[in-house]
Amino acid sequence: MFPPKIIGIIGNLGRMATNIIAPLFNEAGYEVIGSDIKNPQGLTNREVVEKADIVYFSILPMANVAPAMHELISYAKPETLWLHGTSIQNPAKGPIIPVLLDKELVDRQTDVGFLHFMVSPMVRSLRGQSIVYGFPRPLIKPAWEEWLINLLMQKRPLLLKHHPEFHDELTTSSQVIPQVMALVASQLWKERKFSFSDVLQTAGPPCWLQSYGVLRNLSQEDIVAAIVINHPNTRDVVKKAIEILQFIEKACTEGKEETISEMAKRGIKIVSDTEFDKIRQATDWHVRLEGDMRGGALGFTFSTEQNKIGLLTKVLRIFDEEGLNKTSCMAQEIPGGGCIFYIGVKVGLNDPRVRAASSRVVNELGGKIAVAQ
């Protein structure tokens, strides 16, 4: 039915469904229903499919997505849209695309596609986040795509359209390779004699940033396991990684520094010079920010009601009036509409002026001290 009124989520008690999918449709004014094996007293998958105008499949394990969709085909409501949010279009244990291309879905005038939010369930805002969508066959009702774009763009994401199989090629580089790297790096760190906490204390900001990325990747252990095991390209990636490591080992054995230097130069060329300049500028900013924050910083949180235009200016004015030179400042909206400010200062945090500025921010503007490094 178009335009849609009821959105159905298969797997509606999962974290992605709870934190990302359901809020997206609820905030847009749609009725959202759902089913989940964790709630046997609730609606069944069949009831959701028969009632909903759009059905979104948010299921783990990934191997269960294709069978779950397949068994519901005969109940598909005519002229509806089926979407799935699985990270992989064709998991090794259960390819999804063949199910989406099933002739009965075409006969029932049911459109199909994928809508992959490239975020973790902990991310509450879609602003600036990547969302990839696509359709394995031409839409029977082309208006679905315009509707989907209009819905998503209200959140100001980076919206990309790709064919499902090309999507798996993209996620090889954006998910599989970083996750395999994270697994290898963490196991290598464990083999060293010093604790990694000691390493982070002595290393510089570039190492901190790289390490944060590795550790954050590993914190989603179930997702990492699902993607690494099920992605159709994982085995090729691992085989190629072994070849590369053997090449590096040979260069080290032979003492050929120029080989490693040339390898690094070639590696940078995977992006254009213009792109690399932007990456370097962004990285340099993060490196300076990390150093400034560790060198002495304060953090203040403000509620939704306190987060008004001009708030940051007032906070910085207080620091100016107390004679405090600032090294870095970062302001960020947090889930719920509040905000947090991080302000690095050149003097030590025990300086009387720092204590005076902090007290004034709390007393005059209502903020709460969040960070004191």
Give domain limits for the chain.
6-164, 167-268, 291-372
Residue 6 scores a pLDDT above 90: yes
Tell me, which fold does domain 6-164 have in CATH? Answer: Rossmann fold (3.40.50)
Please provide the average confidence, as pLDDT, over all residues in the chain: 91
Q: Tens digit of pLDDT for each residue in 199-234?
A: 888 888 888 888 988 998 898 898 899 999 999 999
| Dihedral sign for Cα atoms in the order 26, 30, 31, 33 | negative
pLDDT score at 371: 60
Q: HEC profile for the chain?
A: CCCCCEEEEECCCCHHHHHHHHHHHHHCCCEEEEECCCCCCCCCHHHHHHHCCEEEECCCCHHHHHHHHHCCHHHCCCCCEEEECCCCCCCCCCCCHHHHCCHHHHHCCCEEEEEEECCCCCCCCCCCCEEEEECCCCCCCCHHHHHHHHHHHCCCCEEEECCHHHHHHHHHHHHHHHHHHHHHHHHHHHHCCCCHHHHHHHCCHHHHHHHHHHHHHHCCHHHHHHHHHHCCCHHHHHHHHHHHHHHHHHHHHCCCHHHHHHHHHHHHCCCCHHHHHHHHHHHHHHHHHHHHHHHCEEEEEECCCCCCCCHHHHHHHHHHHCCCCEEEEEEEECCCCCEEEEEEECCCCCCHHHHHHHHHHHHHHCCEEEEEC
Instruction: With both helix axes pointing from N to C terminus, report the angle between 234-253 and 177-191 in degrees, rounded to the nearest 10.
Output: 50
Name the CATH superfamily housing domain 291-372. ACT domain (3.30.70.260)
pLDDT grade, residue 116 (50/70/90)?
Answer: very high
Structure tokens at 182: 């994270």
CA angle 359, 302, 332 (to 5 degrees): 115
Residue 373 scores a pLDDT above 70: no
Q: Tens digit of pLDDT for each residue in 219-274?
A: 889 889 999 999 999 999 999 999 999 999 999 999 999 999 999 999 999 999 99
| pTM across the whole model | 0.82
pLDDT above 70 covers what percent of the chain? 99
Q: What does the pLDDT average to over 182-200?
A: 88
Q: Do domains 6-164 and 291-372 have the same CATH topology?
A: no
**Contact call for residues 289 and 321 (beta carbons, < 8 A):** no
Q: Torsions phi, psi of 153, nearest 5?
A: -70, -15
Using CA atoms, how far apart are residues 301 and 324, in angstroms rounded to an integer?
20
